Amino acid sequence: MTTEQTASGTLVAPTFDDVVAAARRLRGQAVVTPLLRSDAIDAACGGRLFFKPEVLQRTGSFKFRGAFNRISQLSEDERKRGVVAYSSGNHAQGVAAAACQLGAPALIVMPEDAPRAKLEGTRNLGADVVTYDRYTQSREAIAESIAAERGAIIVPPFDHPAVIAGQGTAGLEAANQCAALGVEPSVALVPCGGGGLIAGVATALTARLPGIQVYAVEPAGFDDTTRSLAAGERQENDPGARSVCDALLAPKPGDLTFSINRRLLAGGAVVDETEVATAMTAAFRHLKLVVEPGGAVALAAALAGKVDLAGRTALIVLSGGNVDTETYRRMLG
């Protein structure tokens, strides 16, 4: 393992230039996802909403961006030794696809109750998968032990500058697309688990759109970032909490991500499962997009009025679409 991975407390936040450099690395590799909108959703929220659908990204979520940005900066020798990641599924698939593209073997530590679509997707991308019990075992410990054994490099799901900078390219793209349309969002809602996506997106957006308010949206029971922002220091979630938003179940904010988010975010918002189901159904009906529960929380907050968007231009990130047919059928209202 490199120093960066063992001593994340000393890691330095990526700058806007790091996001720009990540975008250069991702050119021709990541999908430039479009900016979409819907008259019906605008009418429901009373604002003008622009959606960044990372469900259309490679592997069905934004995670490919950060994984590719990290792995593409490894040396030839490091790539040969391979990469290890722990993930409930989206980061797993992002790392598997990026590693495969860059010729590095990948091993992913995944919870045994991860959605089948994510377990299968990861294996189909050529990665080895090791499963663990989400509620009794430490995925970090398993990953670290395997990485040490193989001399492999860990690609952390959020708490790493290169990962955060990579995720930030979604925000940079959105800012560029808004500029091309001549619109200037004054608020952005972004799903938040460990906080890597929103840290990167906020780095890009606040540089390009000074004064924009960026809100973290979290599922009930996993509102650690919302509470941490209010408290001014990192708060943990109740270990007994459960949520259908399997992509957003980090136990607490990352060290590096929170240091960025406390500086750049306007606040947090929390949505419940019914609000998430309403959002998934609105995305089905009005955007024709398959959005997974965790990917729909920002739209859920918009539709439930958790952040008032009346009369405002807003950017909403739909962060992923990897959901089983059974869960999707159940959530579709």
Contact criterion met (CB below 8 Å) for 250 and 193: yes
Among 90, 284, 301, 315, binds a copy of itself (CB under 8 A): 284
Binding of residue 55 to a copy of itself (CB under 8 A): yes
Among 71, 83, 172, 291, binds a copy of itself (CB under 8 A): 291
Residues 70-99 that bind a copy of itself (CB under 8 A): none
Q: Is 63 a catalytic residue?
A: yes
String marking each residue 108-137 x if it binds a copy of itself according to CB under 8 A? ---------x------x-------------
**Catalytic residue (one of 63, 72, 87, 228):** 63
What is the number of other CB atoms lying within 10 angstroms of the CB of residue 240? Answer: 7
Between 55 and 256, whose beta carbon lies closer to a copy of itself?
Answer: 55
Number of residues that bind a copy of itself (CB under 8 A): 26
Q: Is 319 a catalytic residue?
A: yes
> 101, 35, 34: which is closest to 67 by C-alpha?
101
String marking each residue 1-40 x if it binds a copy of itself according to CB under 8 A? ------------------------------xxxx-x---x
Please identify, among the stretches 83-91, 227-235, 278-286, 299-307, the one whose residues bind a copy of itself according to the rule CB under 8 A.
278-286
Please identify, among the stretches 48-56, 168-176, 191-199, 221-229, the one whose residues bind a copy of itself according to the rule CB under 8 A.
48-56
Contact criterion met (CB below 8 Å) for 314 and 188: yes
What are phi and psi for residue 322, nearest 5 degrees?
A: -95, 90
Distant-in-sequence, close-in-space partners of 319: CB < 8 Å, separation ≥ 6: 54, 55, 61, 62, 190, 191, 197, 247, 294, 295, 298
Give just the sign of the alpha carbon dihedral 108, 109, 115, 120: positive
Identify the burial level of 125 via C-beta atoms within 10 angstroms of its C-beta, where 0-12 means exposed, 13-18 middle and 19 or more buried. buried
**Residues that bind a copy of itself in the complex, under the rule CB under 8 A:** 31-34, 36, 40, 53, 55-56, 60, 117, 124, 281, 284-285, 287-291, 321, 325, 328-329, 332-333
Active site (catalytic) residues: 63, 319
